Structures are given as C-alpha cells and as structure tokens.
Structure 1
Amino acid sequence: MSIIAAENITIRHGARIVLKDVSMSISEREIVTIVGPNGSGKTTLLRALIGSQPLTQGSIRRASNLRTGYVPQGLHVDPALPITVARFLSLPRRHDAGTIKEVLSQSGADGLQNRALSELSGGQLQRVLLARALLGRPQLLLLDEPTTGLDQPGSAAFYRRIESLRQEIGCAVLLVSHELHVVMSASDRVICLNGHVCCEGQPDAVASAPEYRALFGSGTGGALALYRHDHDHFHDHSQH
C-alpha cells in the first residue's frame, strides 16, 4: 500500500523548470533510492514530499497522519557552540533521557549523549542526525545524500544501519544517493531522475536501462557523470 505519492508534479525556481511531470510513490517498508546527476532535482523532490517546497503543478498524496523523519545532507556546527548531543536532540521539544538513549542506540550512536556536538566525527554526526529523525517514530524516513563526506567503510556501515532500521521499526525509506554500488545492494527500487523520471524499477533493471547508462555509463564504479543525456536535449527542443 502506498504511503506517499507524487502525482504529475512540476516545480519551477523562477523561470527554470527543476522538475517536470514527476510521478512516484513509496509503499510501506520499501527502500527506494533516487539517483541522478547534480542539478537533477533530487533534493527538490525530497523537500516537496516533506511539504517544504511549493508545487507549481500536480499534487502529493500522503497516508493519513503520516509520520516522517528527515536526515539532511549534513549540518555545519560552530565549534564555539557549547551544546551536547542530548541537548541538541531536545531542541525544540524536550525528550527524556530514556528516549534519547533509545534513538542513539537505534542509529548506532550509543553513548554519545554527553559529547559536545562540535567534537563529533562526520560519521558520528550523521548518526546523531539520524537519531533526531527517529524521535518522531517515523513511518517514512527520508535521507538526502546522508553519507556525503564519509569514507567508503563509513558509508557502508551507515547504509547497513538504515537497512537494519527498516527491519527494527518497520519504516519505509526514501534515499537520495550518488553511491551507485550501495544503491544496487540496498534498494528495493531505484528511480533515476534528471528533471523528469528517466527510468525506474528494480536495481538490476535500472542498471541495464539505456537511459541510466546514458547518464552514468556502465562502469562508473559508483561515481556519477555530471552531464545531461541526449534525450533531455530532445525534450528541451520539443517543449515536452
């Protein structure tokens, strides 16, 4: 059963069309990954789904009282800011020590509650941001390139934690990622985005799709090519 669905959404930033006629949905307990080059509208789509990005056209349908948790690309922490992990997790709404301990454990950040936020490594900070997203007991967890800046073992460990969470709390996961090798192993379904949905389906089917290969090649080893593929130019000329 679908818990959230975008139906023919178009989003403009000024005169520029960022997303055009995008439709997609996520079902309960499903892990869906969005891939696409820089500027393809991935973050814009995530923001639209959580309600922080106005639509130019189309609609987003959510299950009644859907609880979502959002993990951003990262957080710049001022080294002069004297704030502990526990205090950060209690902003803006206070949570008891037991709840904080539980979400830190679920996110793989056990024992960090009394550490200063500014002292955390990149991987620890991402797990704390994940813990914050878990405070609302989400039915849908949305993550925007959550492993940016982490090394490969750190990224792999973070994604394994996401897979475990799906089992532990029964949430669906929508992930924006540029790490194709991870996407292929962790996802139930992949959506390839480049201003519109180029292709979607099970990872193996998407990996062999001509539209996907035109964007990323067949042997990129997880690195994205940052060019638009040919049929985008045809779309532009035909005003599709």
Structure 2
Amino acid sequence: MTEALVQLDQVTVAFDDRPVVDQVNLSVSRGDILTIIGPNGAGKTTLIKTILGIQRATSGQVSVASGLVIGYVPQHLTLEPTLPLSVRRFMLLSGRGLADCRAALARTGVAHLLDASVHHLSGGEKQRLLLARALARKPDLLVLDEPAQGVDLNGQASLYDLIRELREELNCGVIMISHDLHLVMAATDRVICLNQHICCSGFPEDISKDPAFVETFGHQVAESLAVYHHHHNHRHDLHGDVVPTAEAHGGCNHDHP
C-alpha cells in the first residue's frame, strides 16, 4: 500500500464554536489528484489551510509524511501595486537558485517573462508563474487553490493538462480546489464534495449520480456532468490558442448536451 503524503482523521475546524470544517477524513498519496468542490462558504480554503499547517484543527488529527515538501498555489496573488517586482525577483524569493527558477518557468511556459514586471502579467501568466514558484520547490505534494482563477476557458483546459503532466513527472500528489466542474472532472482522479462536512466522494464518473451532489449543485449540473467527456487531440498554448499534436485532426472533441 502506498504511504499517504497527508492524511486527515476526523478533522474539525471551528470558529467561535461554529464548525467550518466538520469531521473530515481524507488521504492523498503519490500519484493522486484529489479535487475538492463545494459551494461558497463550504470550508474548502479553510481545509486547505489546515493541510498546509496555516490553520490549526480544533479537533482530529492531520498527519504528513516525514520530510514532506509542499508546493502551494494560492487563489490570488496580492501585491502592493507601487512595489517594483520582476518575475526573476519573485521566483528568487522562493529561496531556490536561478537555475531551478528558470527550469520551473520553462516548464510552465513562461520562461520568456523572466524580466517582466509581475504587475503587468495577464491572469493566465500569473497563474503559471505561481505554479512555477511551487514547482521550483520540487514538491512531493502540490496544493492548488482555484489554480485556473482568472484564466479563460481554453487556458483553463491547458492548465489542468499541465497539472496532470506534472503529477506524472514529479510522481507527486495533488490536492486542488476548483469551481470549474466540467473541466476538473476530466482532470482529477477523485472528487470530494464539501459543505462543511464531506457530502459525497468518489470517482468523477460516479460523483454526479450521488444524491448529495445533486442536492448541492442541482439536477441540471449533475445531468450535464454525467454525459460530459473531454478528449484532447491538441493542446493550448499560454494564451489559449490551439497547438496541434502529432495525432491532431481538428479541435477538441466534446460530448455534451
């Protein structure tokens, strides 16, 4: 059995005696991609912060593997607008050498932005920069809070493809929060639907049939996910433009209503 990188046992986080995360159990091992979905206010970011050690659990146990290295991609990059900051400097603040920073930027497709101002980057470029900064740590576990925030639809598909590739290359585990239900169902191995407690969990193809999922997201969303499939015969570049692969014969193939 593969050793868990992180495991939560009956974890509760309460503020003013009100549970925000209630008796959550989860486990992530190398090679896993676990996606946490749920409505606004469901406790998703609080759960992520608890895994990262930023937020202390009120009760229950959080266990992490010895020597675990985590790469974290926050939901937003908030910077003082009057503070001059280049991509180079931002990457070096991670504590990694320039060679590691350059390699990580190249892997996420933004090496050409090394001397650009962070303030002038597009939404997609910022997300790839944040991913590169996490990647430079050579993480055992990637933790991604809405990694496609501010990215257009084609860019989102490309970013999720990249996350899957990095999982394979690094042999790491991945935990991510996402609202992009259709895209994430094609990009993840397991799904947890959180609404303070875990309403349901399982494989993407099964989760949309769960009554708790239907109750949380509605019949229309559940029905559309049940018949949605996303097959790529190309990839998208940084700006969402189609870049054909060797087997390409056209655009994306989608089966949906």
Report the TM-score when normalising by structure 1: 0.88
2-side partners of 1:7 and 1:44: how far apart? 16
Aligned to 1:194: 195
The residue aligned with 1:178 is 179
Conserved? CA contact 1:11–1:54, under 8 Å: yes
Q: Is the 8 A contact 1:147 1:158 kept in 2?
A: yes
Deviation at 1:92, TM superposition (A): 5.4
Distance 1:92-1:138 versus aligned 2 partners, 3 A rule: closer
Corresponding residue of 2:100? 99
* Residue identity in the other structure for 1:219: Q
Structure 1 gap ranges (5+): 223-240
Residue range with higher mean Cα deviation, 189-198 or 154-163? 154-163
TM-superposition CA deviations, 1:96-132 (whole Å, max 9, x none): 3321110101222221111111111011011111111
Equivalent position amino acid for 1:117 in 2:
V
Q: Helix, strand or coil: the match of 1:23? A: strand
Partner of 1:39: 41
Which of 14, 19, 27 is matched with 2:29 structurally?
27
**Residue of structure 2 equivalent to 1:66:** 68
**Residue equivalent to 2:50:** 48
Secondary structure of the residue aligned to 1:190 is strand
- Of 1, 6, 26 in structure 1, the residue corresponding to residue 8 of structure 2 is 6
Shift in Å at residue 219 of structure 1?
2.5
Cα distance in 2 between the residues matched to 1:42 and 1:72: 12
Over residues 162-199 of structure 1, what are the superposed CA-to-partner deviations in whole Å (9 max), with x where a residue is unaligned?
A: 11111222111101001110121011100010000111
Please tell me the residue identity of whatever aligns with 2:84: P
Q: Partner letter of residue 186 of structure 1?
A: A
Other-structure match for 2:117: 116
Question: Residues 124-139 of structure 1: matches in 2 within 5 Å?
Answer: 124-139=125-140
2:243 matched residue in structure 1: none
- SS at the partner of 1:66? coil
Check whether the contact 2:87–2:114 (CA below 8 A) recurs between aligned residues.
yes
Q: Could you tell me which amino acid in structure 1 is paired with residue 24 of structure 2?
A: V
Identity within the alignment, %:
42
* C-alpha contact (below 8 Å) 2:107/2:132 kept by paired residues: yes
- Offset, 1:87: 0.4
Deviates more, 1:156-165 or 1:42-51: 156-165
The answer to whether the 8 Å contact 1:106/1:165 transfers is no
Asked whether the equivalents of residues 160 and 184 of structure 2 are also in contact (C-alpha less than 8 Å), the reply is no
Aligned counterparts of 1:199 and 1:215: Cα–Cα separation in 2? 10
* Aligned position for 2:213: 212
CA distance in 2, matches of 1:58, 1:146: 28
**How far apart, CA to CA, are the structure 2 residues paired with 1:76 and 1:21?**
31
Residue aligned with 1:111, SS: helix
Structure-2 separation of matches of 1:8 and 1:106: 37
Matched-pair contact (CA < 8 Å) for 1:74–1:146: no
Unaligned runs of 5+ residues in structure 2 are: 226-257
2:122 is matched by which residue type in structure 1?
S
Structure with more relative contact order (C-alpha pairs < 8 Å, separation 6 or more): 1
Query: Per the alignment, in what secondary structure is the counterpart of residue 219 of structure 2?
Result: coil
- The whole-number CA distance in structure 2 between the counterparts of 1:96 and 1:40 is 38
Query: How far 1:151 moved relative to its partner?
Result: 1.5
Give the aligned residue type for 1:53. Answer: Q
Kindly provide the amino acid, as one letter, of the partner of residue 75 in structure 1: L
RMSD over equivalenced CA pairs, Å: 1.4
Matches of 1:153 and 1:24, distance apart in 2 = 31
